[in-house]
Every structure is written in C-alpha cells, then in structure tokens.
Chains A and B, each alone.
Chain A
Amino acid sequence: MTSPTSVTIRSFQVGFGDCFLLQFNYASGEPRNVLIDFGTTGLPKTLATTPKVHMPLVAQEIARLCGKDAGQGKKGKLHAIVATHRHKDHISGFATDGSNGGSGAIISELQPDVIVQPWTEDPDAEEDALRPTNTSRATPSARRRRFTRELNAMHGVAEASVAYAQAELRKGAGAALSIRALGKLQFVGEDNVKNLSAVKNLIAMGKRRGARAYYVHYGSKSGFEGVLPGVTVTVLGPPTLEQYDKIGTMRSRDDVEFWHLLAGPRTAAARRPLADGFSSNWSRRHRDMSGRSPLPPQSRWFASRLGRLRGQQVMEMVTALDEEMNNTSIILLFEFGGRKLLFPGDAQLENWRHALQDVGDGKEAAENVKHLSDIDFYKVGHHGSLNATPKKMLWEKLVNRKKPVAKRLRTMLSTMPGRHPGKTGGNSEVPRKTLLDALKSDTLLLSTDDLRKAKALKTTDWYQEITIDAVAAKPGN
C-alpha cells in the first residue's frame, strides 16, 4: 500500500451540522476511512424526521460504506475520527445515550484507531491550559480544574440561554423577543450545551486498546501518521494560547474568567443566574427590602423595554460564546498524489489569522498561504458564515478558482439556511449569500442544502459525493 489513487468525500445530510466521510482509495487493499465530525442541531422539515431516527440511519450508512456487512460477518472499519470542536452540530452523533438514537454506538463498533480532537478537549490538560499535555493518558489531577471550570462556565451560559429562551417561548405573545429570534437563541444555546455522552464516547474510543487519542494544535503531529499511508496531514489550527493569545481572550491577564462571571458562582453550580437570577437568599433579601412594591405606571414602559433588552443581551452573549468555541476548531490539510484538501471545521478569523497572517512573525504564515493557494478541495468553513472563509487571507489567494471545470476548485458545504443568527453585534445570514454566490461562480460547489429538495429520500440522497483522483490519474468526480 503506497499512496492513494483517489479520495472519495461524502457530505451527509445532517441539516445544520457537519458529517464528512473521507475514503482514501488505494490501488491495492481496502480503502482507509476517516470521519470528520458527526453532529446535527436540526434537520430540514422536508425530511419529516427527527435526529433520533435520522442519525442512526446515517451512522449505519457510514458503517456500510466503511465495509460493514452483517450478512457476510464483516464489521467494517473506521480508521480515524476527527471531532473538530465540541459543538453539538459537530459531535452530537457520537452520543450513545439515546439523544440521537444511539448513533454513537454504531460508530464505536467501527473501532477507530485514532481519535483527533483540538488541544482544548484534552481531559488531562494542565490547570492553566496554555498548551496540551504530551499524552492523553496523563494522570488527572486538580491542576486541570481551572481549565475545566472555564469550559463548564461556557456550557453554563449556554444552558442558561436555552432555559431563558424556553421560558420566553412559553409566554407566547408576551415574550420579550419574536418567536423567530427565540428559536435562533435556543438553537445556538443548545449547540453550545455540553454534550456529555458524545464527549465521553470520544474519550472512550480514544482509550480503546489499540486506539490512540490525539489532542492537536497548530504545528503538532496530526495522529494520522500510521493510519493513512501516502497521505500527509498538517494541523494548521487551532493555535495554543501560548502560540496565540488572541484565541483565548476569555482568559484575562488577571485570570478572572469572563464566562465564569456570566455563568455564576461555582458554589451554586446548579443555579443559572443568567436565566433565574441570583441565589434564593439574595432574592429574598431584596424582595423583603422592596416590600413587594408594584411597578408605578410611569415605570412600566421602561421595564418592558428592559425585558426586550435582556433578550438581546442573552442573544449576544450566546453568539459570542459560540464564536469563541468555533475558534477552538481543528484546521487540517490532507495531501496525497499532488492533491490538497482543506478541512477547517468552523474556524473563525482569530484561528485563521494565526496560521495565515501572524505565525513566525508573518514569514511562516506567508509560507502557509502559499502552500494553501493551490488547494483542490475546500470544505466551506462554519456552514458558510460571514467570517469563516477569510476573504483576503485565503479566498483571494486560491488559484484554482475560476479555472476550467477539470481543474476548478471543488467545494463542499454542509448547511441549512435560517437556523443560525450570525455574528455578534451584526446581522448576517448563514449561509452568507455573498459567499454562496462566490462559491457557485468560482468553484464547483456541492451543498447539502440541495439534498433536502429531494422528493423521495433514497440512501444516495443522504450525501453529496465527490471523488478526486491523484494528479497522475485523470481528475473527475
């Protein structure tokens, strides 16, 4: 087994989420299979189904494509899993607790040899978490509590925002925000709520005898070294805090954690101040102080406006949190047979900037840009949002855009319009229309959004598929 002759990339219909199966095909021997993300936060209504039903079916299809054939006693094999970051729309399918119909168990049975996650997911990260530990098997200790606490705080804020959205939705016409806005708030909040079952399964798969977990960062080993013969995999992101402190501005210079301030006191972890207010003691004390005064007439208008403002602030907080979590996303470049495939997960500008603008005082970054300029395939970042495909740093440098069809840049987009509220302080749709226009005019685009229009859902309608041959062979799809 030398170098792959081709790669087949499938982007599964998971609504607003990502699920990419890469099959590296070799002249001799079985293909090598890599699953990059498996999650959803909502399916198109046209599918008339739910994640509990749909995700196990997708998992079974993945298993089939990986060689599972129960009739012939074949178990199938997944060689590697990449969970680019911990958002629900990227990992919920790995859950085994029934929230997605147990789809994670089907994936586990494929016995992946390598589990690749960003360094921020390392369960044994040091307390200060400026960089990952050398091995995922280091002894857990009190040192990691601080890091865990910060992530938990972010989840706490997300949980509170979901609780807020649900409470407002129950009010109906009296809600502070529109039903549509609350729906989006709930969506982003749920995407950021800790998916414990999926996280545990990813850890468990990495600890399976014969398997190994890698927690990667810019410039680190990818973990694919022994898994994909003839394929070079480069990790371009995320940077560690040491490499690039912009990615971790949640960590202030005084080590007061921004998200912890919003999540609430650790002594009352069960409470959600953002949704419910402070402790019952606090509430009781101030309620008594006020004597339960009714709102005077001249104060009612402003009180009502405050309710609306609160909704807007919660929306801003959870969107900001979402962006920060996206920036922990892995960016991977696969190279084989003269081909280059770029998978950036949901990386946002700060993550990209390190690799393409700042690293090595700009010199190494310039080399990275040059190296990426002739990529053959691009997985569109963050479902086609405003800020995930850097326009000047990356897009304008891609030389295979607008080339004749045979040589033109291939792109794949997994998205579902109308779900995501866009960027903090802004008003931008996802997928971004201007980006979609550019993808359609300059590249050969395959989007899962086109799949939902299929009238009769057949197995082959579950994914977009493209095959890219090594340069020596004839390119095609």
Chain B
Amino acid sequence: MSHHIVVIGSTGYLGSRLIPRLVERGHTVTAVVRPGSRAIAAQGCRVVQADPLDKASLTPHLHAGDTVVQLVGVPKPAPWKGPQFRAVDLVAGRASIDAAQAAGVDHFVYVSVAHPAPIMKDYIAVRRECEDRLRLPACVRQSSGPGISWAPAPGIATGVSPHGDDTVYA
C-alpha cells in the first residue's frame, strides 16, 4: 500500500537516506526543507519550504491521511550540546507534534533514544519530553471512532553517527 509521507528533517543523516528508499518503494514523499536547502533535497520527492521550529509554518504542509516522519535534530549529538538540543530538537519536536495534531495527521513517526548512555542526559531529557507529548490523550487515536484519527508511533532510536556512516546510537 502506498502512503503519503511528509519528512521533516529531510536533508539530514537519516532523512537523506530514507527518502530515496521510500520513493523506490512507491510511496509519495514530501520533503520539508528550510529556506535555502531546496538544492540538497533528495530526488524524486515533492519539496516544500518551512521552518521546522515553527508550528504555524509546518501546519499548512500537513494533512489528514499523511504519515509524518520527524527527524530534526542537532547533528552529531554530544554531551556538551545540551543548549542546542533544547533549542533545536525540543522546539522542533514540539512544533511538529503540535502541527500534526492540528492538521489531523493519521500517523506520526518519531525517532527517540534508548537510554544506555547516561552521559547524554540532556539529549535523553529532550527526547523523553517529546515522547511524553506524543502520549497525551489528544495525540492518540481513540478506537476507530470518527473525528479523531491521529496515532503517533514514537520510539525507534536516535540518529547519531560518531563512527562514520555505518552505526547510529540507539
């Protein structure tokens, strides 16, 4: 079955590798890019410009029936990047979750973090806050009744690659 997928954070480490695979599998993909990043967007997808930190900027690009994949994050996370995590990862997470809810998006995929490395406490705290936001009753699909059709699928892992391009922290 073909899906319409909106990728927020589409030009990063995971997004740039994920989109070609989705297109290859027959899905329709919209890549959300920051102004000025259109040139580095993946081939084969529709490209729209929006500010990933701003709900009002994202909402017009999201629609009922879409699957939203949220991949925005500070590149190469490290313990000393706490202020950046709060300024980018947290703000982008909130903005995209709230925009998806406002737009009536059906399915939200969030890349979070496993917790084997306590030294990354700031990063874990930010990702956990976004997970908690996704678990709010307003965000979770209520049985199969009409009118409410939003189902987040949080979890998976984080997209750090300190060792080259073959491993990521999870």
Q: Do A and B bind each other?
A: no
**B-side interface residues toward A, CB under 8 Å?**
none
